Amino acid sequence: MPAFSDPSDHQAADQALLQPPLQNDSSAPSQPPLRLGVMASGNGSNFEALATAIEAGTLHAELVLLIVNNPGCGAVARAERLQIPHKVVDHRRWTIREELDQELVRTFQAASVDAVVMAGWMRIVTPVLIHAFADRLLNIHPSLLPSFRGLDAIGQALKAGVCISGCTVHLVSEELDAGPILAQAAVPVLDTDDHASLAERIHRQEHRLLPHAVQLAASRWTQG
Ligand code: GAR
């Protein structure tokens, strides 16, 4: 039985399921802005959500460098429009995952980033990257982890017939989509949902959740 069966009520449903308004860390501005690196493979809407939150003053950070693995992907166009430095590290040039990750580490370290956000990075990462940014590598995933790890989490949720799905921001560990959870938002699955409609509503919550989770992690790092 679906949690919300009236499609006209989906905004109310979103609100009913979501946590209270996300609070930001008021102590953050006394610190220098967090130097953030971002990795993206596709559209880049979560990358832009970080830029929007920085502009709005709700995330105390600077987007130092975007790395994409797909030349010409949407994230590149966003970076150009927002005038954020970006670089293509095309995974097709490497046959060994660890060597690709070594290049990512080198590039981010050369840019002196404090932390890295995987905002739609659709490649498996190795301990080379994970250990170089120990506890400072974040990932956003379109499900309520630990449910529906791996590829096409939204398709998995629809296939399983769950009533509630959502999104998760977590620290990256060696096990896929299994690191410590920083923040989650719930999204109802409606009777009428298809992949596109559910993805659209999950994205809306991701754009709200990701900057909040990064700020939360940053406040923990600065408190030691
Ligand atoms: C987001 O929904 C993100 O959760 C997902 O890719 C999308 C990227 O959207 N990530 C994964 O599935 C990682 N396993 P965007 O390019 O518009 O930010």
Alpha carbons 51 and 36: distance in angstroms, whole number: 11
> What is the second-level CATH architecture of the domain 3-18+32-223?
3-Layer(aba) Sandwich (3.40)
CA of 66 to the centre of ligand 1 (A): 15
pTM of the model: 0.91
Question: Considering only CA atoms, which residue is closest to atom 7 of ligand 1?
Answer: 120
Question: Considering only CA atoms, which residue is closest to atom 12 of ligand 1?
Answer: 141
Residue 164, classified by CB atoms within 10 Å of its CB into exposed (0-12), middle (13-18) or buried (19+), is middle
CA of 8 to the centre of ligand 1 (A): 26
Per-residue pLDDT of the chain (224 residues; tens, 9 = 90+): 344 433 434 555 555 455 445 665 544 567 899 999 999 999 999 999 999 999 999 999 999 999 999 999 999 999 999 999 999 999 999 999 999 999 999 999 999 999 999 999 999 999 999 999 999 999 999 999 999 999 999 999 999 999 999 999 999 999 999 999 999 999 999 999 999 999 999 999 999 999 999 999 999 998 86
Q: Are 184 and 167 in contact (CB under 8 A)?
A: yes
Q: Is 141 a catalytic residue?
A: yes
CA of 30 to the centre of ligand 1 (A): 32
- Exposed e or buried b per residue across 179-203, where buried means at least 16 C-beta atoms within 10 angstroms of its C-beta: beebbbbbbbbbeebeeeebbebbb
